[in-house]
Amino acid sequence: MKQTIYEKYGGYDTIYEIIFDLYKELCDHPEIAQHFIGVDIDRLIILQTQFVSRALGGNIEYKGRPMYRAHHPMAITNFQYKEVQIIFSKLFKKHGFSDEDVQAVKDLLKAERSKVVSSNWNLIDSIMKPFYFVINYFEGILRERGALDES
């Protein structure tokens, strides 16, 4: 029987670490942090860990609301969603996931997009998008050259 991505990288504890790191970054992100004001982050980390664990093949029960109900009121934009995808990918790579398995995680995120994104535009996105593009571009170059500390 083929090992799941969940099992391959250490199961719940590894996914929890990744999700914990994800929310540390999201709560500091100028585009995304406002979505977490007044939110019980510890509970959210557990729910997200359950969701991702189950999606990656873990025998874990997800006890949260359906994705659409949880995210629709937040008016998340496509740009914000892409930013989360970028951070997710970085964190899975940082935790030793192969490129193939990172792509599987990206595919999982793409499949959930329509349940999460509910707004096409906001002013902050329009202002910040060029800056994030430049940052991501140069970060990619530095990573390719081994000049970027991934820790």
Reduce the DSSP state of residue 117 to 3 states and report it: strand
- Is 105 inside any structural domain? yes
The residue segments making up the domain with residue 94 are 5-144
Mean pLDDT of the chain: 87
- Is 83 inside any structural domain? yes
- Is 78 inside any structural domain? yes
- Tokens matching residue 40: 């019980």
CA atoms within 13 A on the CB side of 87: 21
CA dist 19 and 49 (Å) reads 6
- Is 104 inside any structural domain? yes
Cβ 148 vs Cβ 139: under 8 Å: yes
DSSP β-bridge partners for residue 117 = 76
- Is 64 inside any structural domain? yes
User: Which CATH number fits the domain that encloses residue 45?
Assistant: 1.10.490.10
Q: How many structural domains comprise the chain?
A: 1
Of 12-16, 32-36, 56-60, the range with the highest mean pLDDT is 12-16
Give pLDDT tens digits for 41-51.
Answer: 999 999 999 99
Give pLDDT tens digits for 100-144.
Answer: 999 998 898 888 888 888 776 566 666 777 877 787 788 788 878
Give pLDDT tens digits for 89-109.
Answer: 999 999 999 999 999 988 988
Q: pTM to 2 decimals?
A: 0.76
- Is 151 inside any structural domain? no
Closest CA to 91 of 105, 81, 107, 79: 105
CA dist 138 and 115 (Å) reads 31
- Is 74 inside any structural domain? yes
- Is 38 inside any structural domain? yes
CA dist 50 and 21 (Å) reads 15
CA dist 115 and 118 (Å) reads 8
